């Protein structure tokens, strides 16, 4: 006697296992009809690392974008995106598969060598609403503006030295109505200036800033600009010598979207 | 017009949460920022205590600064019914800071208007990003300085 569960009941059962990856992997092998729902949870959060989990191995595993589970991914984390060895065309194809992405985190974006992000990463997915960038250079502001629906922005370990050239303000910018996290142990003045130049202004409801004492004026400018929308303000202000040991807090700057995923 | 060296919150009419961490001895900017609060929706004021903040509180000037803050926070209680939270780390340094609270915020602590809260980041984060390393390096760094 065959017994089939109604799909909505099956979905409910699988949803209960959303934070148990091992069980989900086992469920994924039960039957073809179980695959879409389990994949939805298994691939909700995906992370790439240059050494352990390179992007290239994903491309090899899922060569056909139409069969790729990337469209289940809502949160994507990439460490050291510069080391992508695939051609720009391949990466562009690959990025196009993540069309339901909500949160994007790029870590170690190569500020030490002033490397720019590969072009296909710009506008990675138009649905991205939350962006977190760590260890990055000032190329980042053009990158930020390539996400039209962006609401939450977190920048940590921003390196100001790369911004020696005079840059024009980007032609357009996202609305930025969510949260801003800014932690720059080397100073936030230049970063603040670039943010204040955004043509569509800043409308953050939540601001979290870790800065040096001499940069408090810059934090003040950010607060003044967002004062009509501001609901939550968190300012950490350090003496130069004290900052280094405590500013690790800033490395955990998370956006509300990220916390809701956790 | 010179720029203010403290956040002007007079126009932030939707403000609900405020949190300050001062990693230096000057706390005037916190008091000045709180004086500008114009929001009727403010619900929480949190001040994270750092050892560097309290390092110089024995000096007269610093005491006066803390007294100003103490008085202002008491006013927030009487006018807005806001109980400020003082957050400290759960280690011995943090507890030392907590124990010294009555000396730098006397009125607030005497009237029991302050909540002392221990806070540390989630263990998963600490393990993932070397937080434990930084916890170990803090005391080592201090030891090195005092030797």
How close does chain A come to B4, measured CA to CA in Å? 7
How close does chain B come to A249, measured CA to CA in Å? 8
Q: Which domain holds residue A10?
A: 1-42
Show residues of chain B in contact with A235, CB under 8 Å.
7, 19-21, 33
Q: How many angstroms separate the CA atoms of B5 and B29, rounded?
A: 7
pLDDT of res. A31: 87
B97 belongs to a structural domain: yes
- Residue A259 CB burial class (10 angstroms; 0-12, 13-18, ≥19): exposed
User: Quick one: what percent of chain B has pLDDT higher than 90?
Assistant: 33
A57 pLDDT higher than 70:
yes
pLDDT-wise least confident of B41-45, B48-52, B105-109: B48-52
Nearest by CB to residue A217, choosing from B3, B23, B121, is B3
Q: Are residues A151 and A122 in the same domain?
A: yes
The ipTM assigned to this model is 0.77
Best of B3, B6, B7, B127 to disrupt the A interface (most A CBs within 10 Å) is B7
pLDDT of res. A251: 39
Which CATH number characterizes residue A54's domain?
Answer: 3.80.10
Q: Which domain holds residue B55?
A: 17-121
Using a cut of 0.90, tell me whether the model's pTM lies above it.
no
Q: What is the pLDDT of residues A176-214, one digit of tens each?
A: 999 999 987 677 888 888 899 899 999 999 999 988 888
CB contact under 8 A, A227 and B138: no
pLDDT of res. B103: 83
Q: What is the pLDDT of residues A58-114, one digit of tens each?
A: 888 888 878 889 989 999 998 877 666 556 677 777 788 888 899 999 887 765 555
B92 belongs to a structural domain: yes
Q: Which of A19, A134, A152 is nearest to A80 (CA)?
A: A134
How close does chain B come to A109, measured CA to CA in Å? 17
The domain tally of chain A equals: 2
Beta strand ranges found along chain A (DSSP E): 45-49, 75-79, 103-107, 130-136, 152-158, 179-183, 206-212, 232-238
Arithmetic mean of pLDDT over chain A: 80
Q: How many angstroms separate the CA atoms of A125 and A101, rounded?
A: 6
pLDDT of res. A2: 57
pLDDT of res. B135: 42
pLDDT band at B55 (very low <50, low <70, confident <90, very high): low
Q: Are residues A23 and A100 in the same domain?
A: no
The domain tally of chain B equals: 1
pLDDT of res. B97: 74
pLDDT-wise least confident of A62-76, A178-192, B23-37, B86-100: B86-100
User: Quick one: what percent of chain A has pLDDT higher than 90?
Assistant: 29
pLDDT of res. B42: 93
Q: How many angstroms separate the CA atoms of A116 and A139, rounded?
A: 6
Q: Give helix B28-35 / helix B60-80 axis angle, nearest 10°.
A: 30
Q: How many angstroms separate the CA atoms of B74 and A228, rounded?
A: 27
B138 belongs to a structural domain: no
Show residues of chain A in contact with B38, CB under 8 Å.
none
Q: What is the pLDDT of residues B120-134, one digit of tens each?
A: 655 444 444 444 444
Show residues of chain B in contact with A249, CB under 8 Å.
121
pLDDT-wise least confident of A13-17, A19-23, A218-222, B22-26: B22-26
Q: Are residues A206 and A131 in the same domain?
A: yes
Beta strand ranges found along A101-205 (DSSP E): 103-107, 130-136, 152-158, 179-183
Q: Does residue A123 contact residue A98 with C-beta atoms inside 8 Å?
A: no
Q: What is the pLDDT of residues A213-228, one digit of tens each?
A: 888 888 999 999 999 9
Q: Are residues A55 and A84 in the same domain?
A: yes
Q: Does residue A175 contact residue A202 with C-beta atoms inside 8 Å?
A: no
B112 belongs to a structural domain: yes
Q: Give helix A7-16 / helix A35-42 axis angle, nearest 10°.
A: 30
């Amino acid at each position: 006697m065959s017994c089939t569960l109604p799909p909505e009941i099956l979905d409910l059962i699988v949803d209960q296992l959303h934070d148990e990856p091992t069980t989900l992997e086992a469920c994924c092998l039960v039957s073809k009809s179980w695959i879409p729902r389990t994949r939805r949870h298994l691939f909700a959060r995906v992370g790439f690392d240059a050494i352990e989990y390179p992007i290239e191995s994903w491309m090899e595993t899922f060569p056909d974008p139409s069969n790729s589970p990337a469209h289940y991914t809502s949160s994507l984390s990439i460490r050291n995106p510069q080391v992508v060895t695939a051609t720009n065309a391949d990466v562009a194809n690959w990025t196009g598969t993540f069309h339901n992405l909500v949160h994007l985190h790029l870590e170690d974006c190569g500020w030490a060598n002033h490397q720019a992000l590969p072009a296909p990463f710009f506008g990675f997915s138009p649905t991205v609403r939350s962006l977190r960038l760590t260890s990055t250079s000032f190329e980042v502001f053009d990158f930020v503006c390539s996400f039209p629906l962006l609401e939450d922005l977190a920048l940590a370990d921003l390196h100001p030295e790369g911004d020696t050239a005079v840059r024009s303000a980007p032609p357009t910018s996202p609305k930025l109505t969510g949260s801003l996290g800014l932690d720059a142990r080397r100073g936030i003045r230049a970063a603040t200036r670039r943010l204040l130049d955004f043509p569509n202004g800043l409308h953050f409801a939540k601001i979290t800033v870790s800065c040096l004492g001499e940069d408090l004026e810059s934090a003040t400018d950010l607060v003044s600009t967002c004062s009509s929308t501001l609901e939550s303000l968190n300012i950490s202000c350090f003496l130069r010598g004290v900052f280094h040991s405590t500013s690790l807090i800033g490395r955990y700057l998370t956006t509300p979207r990220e916390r809701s995923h956790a | 017009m010179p720029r203010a060296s403290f956040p002007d919150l007079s126009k932030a009419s939707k403000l609900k949460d405020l949190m300050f961490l001062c990693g230096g001895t000057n706390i005037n900017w916190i008091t000045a920022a709180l004086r500008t609060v114009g929001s009727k929706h403010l619900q929480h004021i949190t001040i994270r205590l750092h050892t560097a903040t309290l390092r110089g509180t024995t000096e007269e000037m610093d005491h006066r600064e803390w007294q100003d803050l103490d008085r202002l926070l008491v006013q927030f209680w009487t006018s807005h019914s806001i109980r400020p939270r003082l957050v400290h780390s759960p280690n011995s340094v943090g507890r030392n800071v907590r124990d010294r609270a009555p000396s730098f915020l006397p009125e607030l602590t005497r009237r029991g208007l302050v909540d002392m809260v221990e806070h540390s980041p989630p263990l998963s984060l600490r393990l993932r990003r070397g937080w434990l390393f930084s916890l170990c390096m803090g005391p080592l760094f201090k030891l090195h300085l005092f030797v």
